Amino acid sequence: MRVFSGSKFGVDVEEVVLPNGKRKRVEKVTHPGSVVIMANFEGKIVLEKQFRPVIGKWIFELPAGTIDEGESPEQAAIRELREETGLVSSDLKKLLDFYPSPGISNEIMHVFLANNCEKGDQALEDYEVIELVPLEREQILSMIREGKIEDGKTIASLLYFFYMSESLQ
Amino acid sequence: MRVFSGSKFGVDVEEVVLPNGKRKRVEKVTHPGSVVIMANFEGKIVLEKQFRPVIGKWIFELPAGTIDEGESPEQAAIRELREETGLVSSDLKKLLDFYPSPGISNEIMHVFLANNCEKGDQALEDYEVIELVPLEREQILSMIREGKIEDGKTIASLLYFFYMSESLQ
């Protein structure tokens, strides 16, 4: 049963049968999925310092956004990168997928590496309050170590990229 | 305005003033916060293979759970560890905090390392379908690299622990 329809997510309450045969009432945030982009611009990774009204503070995040209806994750990544940072890349590579909150939400995040980025035009929405911060690997690792990066998708994506995949081209 | 009150989270719709002076309607999942526990049991990290009805599949996760009313994050971590894994530890150390989904939810996750774990009694809820899987560092890193760990908090917490903090005692 749909109990809330918002512009960013919905909420559904359903009864499901578990693998052990028990029935359970499940409250679920229904989300179309999102993309996260690690943009390599002149050898640095572009972070955003962004005001997040939901937590009432500025935090460092990788560029990210919700997948629009009819869009592929790749298309959403190219669009969000251009809108939020003004960067354009035709060299996109999938890094990993994960669920940020699988206990309550079906949102899946698709993380891309965007190499060979070039400057285009930033096109922020009115409500987006974002400063761009290009950083080197060692700066980013210090910030994670010191607790200055507080966004889960950003920590997971950056550490995966630095330690689990090839390094920057 | 409260638009949904569930047992795991609520939803509020509010109008907020942004740092740039613009007003915005914000849809917010309101959550009491949660804990994630990296349990060191005989030199291995205990993962759970857990069925998550919200995404309809089994995934590997670190033990985790919601903070109860009146509980500190430390108390919640000790309780959740015991309930989900049967392990008892009196040697808890905070590793990091992060927001899993700061665009839509105010949930904050507190990640703890539990050293010197000993066996007690597992006390799963009826609706929890969990198998315990203790793994060595190299096994875990292979699983992350191969995309077999799809939970964001688990990827962020494990990579932070292995690369950003001291290793296992």
Provide the ipTM. 0.95
Q: Quote the distance between the C-alpha of residue B38 and its chain's center.
A: 9
Answer yes or no: do A56 and A134 share one domain. yes
List of chain A residues whose C-beta atoms are within 8 Å of the C-beta of residue B96? 147, 155
Give tens-digit pLDDT for B120-129.
777 777 667 7
Question: Are A145 and A81 in a shared domain?
Answer: yes
Name the average pLDDT for chain B: 93
Q: What is the mean pLDDT of residues B5-19?
A: 96
Residues B25, B62: one domain? Answer: no
Note whether B25 and B88 are same-domain residues: no
Interface of B with A in 54-83 (CB under 8 A): 54-55, 58-59, 61, 64
The mean pLDDT value for B18-24 works out to: 92
Whether residues A3 and A75 fall in one domain: no
B124: contact with A, CB 8 A cutoff = no
Q: Name the pTM for this structure.
A: 0.95
Number of structural domains found in chain A? 2
Structural domain includes residue B169: no
Q: Note whether residue A64 is domain-resident.
A: yes
Mark whether B18 and B92 lie in a shared domain: no
- Tell me: do A74 and A145 sit in the same domain: yes
Q: What is the pLDDT of residue B121?
A: 75
Asked if A159 and A118 sit in the same domain, the reply is: yes
pLDDT-based confidence at A166, cuts 50/70/90? low
Residue numbers in B near A60 (CB within 8 A): none
Asked whether residue A86 falls in the same domain as residue A137, the answer is yes
Residue A102 and residue A24 share a domain = no
Domain contains A169: no
Residue range(s) defining the domain that contains residue B61: 32-164
**Per-position b or e across A22-57, b if 16+ CB within 10 A of its CB:** eebebbbbbbbbbbbbbbbbeebbbbbebbbbbbee
**Torsion from C-alpha of B1, B3, B6, B11, nearest 10 degrees:** -70
- Which B residues in the span 5-64 are in contact with A, Cβ-Cβ below 8 Å? 6-9, 11, 13, 16, 18-20, 22, 24, 26-29, 31, 51-55, 58-59, 61, 64
How much is the pLDDT for B167? 53
